[in-house]
Amino acid sequence: MASSTMADVAAGIRFRTAAYIDGQFVPAASGATYVTENPATGQPLAEIALGDERDVDRAVTAARRAADSGVWSGMSPGDRKRILVRFADLIDEHNDELAVTETLDAGKPISDVRTLDIPDTAACIRWHAEATDKLYDQVAPTGPGAVAMIVREPVGVVGAVIPWNYPAQMAAWKLGPALATGNCVVIKPAQQTSLSLLRMAELASDAGLPPGVLNVVPGPGDVVGVAIARHPDIDAVAFTGSTEVGRTFLHHAADTNLKRVLLELGGKSPQVIMADAGDLDRIVPQVLNAVFWNMGENCSAGSRLVVHRSRKTELVERLVAAAARDWIVGDPLDESTRIGPMITRGHLERVLGYIAAGRAEGARLVTGGNRVLEETGGHFVAPTIFDDATNEMRIAREEIFGPVLTVIPFDTEAEAIAIANDTPYGLAASVYTENVRVAHRMARAIKAGTVGVNAYSEGDLTTPFGGFKQSGFGGHDKSVHAHAQYTDLKTIWIDMAEDDEPQA
C-alpha cells in the first residue's frame, strides 16, 4: 500500500502534458496526443502532446533566436549562475511532487526517488551552475609580439535525447553543463516518462531562465529523436540510451551538418570478487545494490558477478538470503518497496525472455526467475540470480536492463581480467580485494569508464561518467569535463607588435 502522505501528494498533482517551447506550454503542431501508463498498475496515467518534426523545428527556431540574441550566452556568468542555482532550489522545494511524478510515471521506488534522484537532480544543476563563474579561459605562451587567448564559447543550440530509467536525473546531466556554459537546449524525454522534465522546464522558467533557452519536445524517438539528430540548426547532440540507437546519431550527423555527437550508451558491467575480498557483510549489500538498484534498469548495473571459485558458494548463499530479505518487490509508492515494476509490459517480457534463455543455456537459477504481483496489473519481476554461468551465455553478454544477476566463477587474476573485459561494453566495473596492489592493477587493467574499488560506484558530481568501447562515444556527463564538450575552443590572436617589429 502507498503511504497516505505520498498518496495525498499523488492525488494533488496536476501534470504538465503539453510541449514546452519558447517559454510556453503548447499543444503539438498536429494537435495529436498519446496516453502513458502507470507501470505499477497498467492503468492510463497522462495524455501527452505527441510532438513531430514541426515541433522540433519550432523549438529549434526559438532556441536559435535565444542563442543569437545573447540573452543567455551574453549574460554575465554570475547572473547565469544565480538563475540556475534558483532552478536547483526550486527542484528541491518541489521534491515530493517531482518524486511522486517520477514514481507514477516510471515505477521507480519512492524511497529512492525522494532521497536520491530528485535531490541529485537539483545537486547536479547546482554543481554546474556554481562552476559557471569559476572556470577560466587561457592565455597562450606566445612571445611579446602577440597576445593569444584560448577561449571557450557555447556551441549554440544543443539537442538532447534521454531515456526513461532516470528521467529527471538524466535531464539534469545534460541540462546542467549545457545551460551553465551558455547554450540553449531542445530536449526530448523518453516517450514513457515526459512528466518530470516538463514540470522542471516550468520551474526553470520560474527561476528566471529566458524564453527559448530550454525547450522540451515530447514524442516518439523515431520521429522527434530523429528530427533532433538531423536538424541542420542544432550544433551538438547529447544522447543517453541504447548502443543500437546511439550509433544512428553518428549516421545522422554525418549525413547532415556534422553536429557534435555525444553518446552515453549501454553496459554489461562486471563486479569482480577476488579470493581475498573483505567482509561479506559489507560486500553483499554492495553487490545487490549494483544489480537490483532501479530494478536493474540502470546502464551501469553490475550485472555480471565474476567471483573467485573459493568464495563463490558462501557468497551466493548470502546473496540469495539478502535478496529475499532486503529487496522487497511491491507498489513503488510504498516507502518499504525497493523493486518496482519494469517500465512496460514489453520490457517485462524481454526480461522474462532473458531469464528463459539463462535456464535454457544451463545456468543454475538460485532465486527469482518469475513474474510476481500479476494481480496488480503491474509489470513486476522477482529479483533473480543465476549461478554457474559462463561468460558466453546470452545472460552474460547482452544488456538485460532488469534485476538479473549472472554469477561466473574464475580461478586466476588473469582469468578474472579476461572475463571482465570480454564484452563489447565498457561503462563501469567494481573490484573487491583487501590488497591495494591487486586493486590498483585490476582497476587499471579493466577497460571501463568508472571502476569502483571495494564499492559499487558511479563516482559523484566531481567525476566524469562515460563509457569505453561501445558504451560511449565522445562524451562524458558530470564534472568540468562535461562543460568542455558543450563549448567550442576559439583562438583569438592579437597582434601586439610595435610598428616595424616582426610578430612573435
Active site residues: 264, 299
Residue placing its CB nearer to ligand TAP in the complex, 172 or 265:
265
Rounded to the nearest whole angstrom, what is the least distance from the CB of residue 468 to ligand TAP in the complex? 11
| CA angle centred on 10, ends 118 and 199, rounded to 5° | 50
* Residues 170-189 within binding reach of ligand TAP (CB under 6 A): 188
**What gap in Å lies between CA 43 and CA 217, rounded to an integer?**
24
Question: Of these, 3, 33, 142, 242, which contacts ligand TAP (CB under 6 A)?
Answer: 242
Q: Is position 383 an interface residue for ligand TAP (rule: CB under 6 A)?
A: no
Rounded to the nearest whole angstrom, what is the least distance from the CB of residue 188 to ligand TAP in the complex? 6
Question: Torsions phi, psi of 424, nearest 5?
Answer: -70, -15
- The strand pair at 428-432 and 450-453 is best described as parallel
Return the biggest CA–CA distance within the chain: 88
Q: Is position 229 an interface residue for ligand TAP (rule: CB under 6 A)?
A: yes
* Residues 462-491 within binding reach of ligand TAP (CB under 6 A): 467
Rounded to the nearest whole angstrom, what is the least distance from the CB of residue 192 to ligand TAP in the complex? 6
Rounded to the nearest whole angstrom, what is the least distance from the CB of residue 440 to ligand TAP in the complex? 25
Question: Of these, 327, 354, 386, 401, which contacts ligand TAP (CB under 6 A)?
Answer: 401
Question: Of these, 265, 274, 404, 451, which contacts ligand TAP (CB under 6 A)?
Answer: 265
Q: Which amino acid is at 452?
A: G
Question: Of these, 97, 105, 264, 387, which contacts ligand TAP (CB under 6 A)?
Answer: 264
* Residues 99-158 within binding reach of ligand TAP (CB under 6 A): none
User: x/- string (CB under 6 A) for ligand TAP, residues 305-334?
Assistant: ------------------------------
Question: Of these, 73, 165, 303, 485, which contacts ligand TAP (CB under 6 A)?
Answer: 165
Residue pair 277/433 in contact (Cβ under 8 Å)? The answer is yes
Rounded to the nearest whole angstrom, what is the least distance from the CB of residue 295 to ligand TAP in the complex? 12
Q: Which amino acid is at 247?
A: R
CA dihedral sign, ordered 158, 161, 165, 167: positive
Beta strands in 69-192 (DSSP E): 138-139, 146-154, 157-161, 184-188
Binding range to ligand TAP, per CB under 6 A, among 5-13, 32-40, 161-169, 361-369:
161-169
Rounded to the nearest whole angstrom, what is the least distance from the CB of residue 220 to ligand TAP in the complex? 4
Residue placing its CB nearer to ligand TAP in the complex, 83 or 229:
229
Question: Of these, 106, 184, 185, 245, which contacts ligand TAP (CB under 6 A)?
Answer: 245
Q: Which three cell numbers stand for residue 177?
A: 553543463
User: x/- string (CB under 6 A) for ligand TAP, residues 286-305?
Assistant: -------------x------
Cβ neighbours for 318, distance < 8 A, ≥ 6 positions apart: 280, 284
**Which DSSP helix (H) or strand (E) runs through 67?**
helix 53-69
Residue placing its CB nearer to ligand TAP in the complex, 251 or 440:
251
One-character DSSP codes across 247-289: HHHHHHHHHTT--EEEEE-----EEEE-TT---HHHHHHHHHH
**What gap in Å lies between CA 400 and CA 3, rounded to an integer?**
31
Q: Is residue 15 exposed (0-12), middle (13-18) or buried (19+ Cβ within 10 Å)?
A: middle
Length of the chain in terms of residues written: 504
**What gap in Å lies between CA 400 and CA 89, rounded to an integer?**
36
Q: Is position 280 an interface residue for ligand TAP (rule: CB under 6 A)?
A: no
Q: Which three cell numbers stand for residue 293?
A: 538498484
Question: Of these, 145, 210, 211, 220, which contacts ligand TAP (CB under 6 A)?
Answer: 220
SS3 171: helix
Total Cβ atoms within 10 A of residue 146: 14
* C-alpha to C-alpha distances, 34 to 44, 185, 191, 207, nearest whole angstrom: 10, 24, 9, 29
Residue placing its CB nearer to ligand TAP in the complex, 96 or 399:
399
Residue placing its CB nearer to ligand TAP in the complex, 114 or 347:
347
Residue placing its CB nearer to ligand TAP in the complex, 58 or 268:
268
Q: Is position 164 an interface residue for ligand TAP (rule: CB under 6 A)?
A: yes
Binding range to ligand TAP, per CB under 6 A, among 46-54, 63-71, 162-170, 410-418:
162-170
| CA angle centred on 390, ends 386 and 393, rounded to 5° | 85
Q: Is position 237 an interface residue for ligand TAP (rule: CB under 6 A)?
A: no
Rounded to the nearest whole angstrom, what is the least distance from the CB of residue 299 to ligand TAP in the complex? 3
Binding range to ligand TAP, per CB under 6 A, among 95-103, 150-158, 235-243, 364-372:
235-243
Residues that bind ligand TAP (CB under 6 A): 161-165, 188, 190-191, 220-222, 225-226, 229, 240-242, 245, 248, 264-267, 299, 399, 401, 427, 467
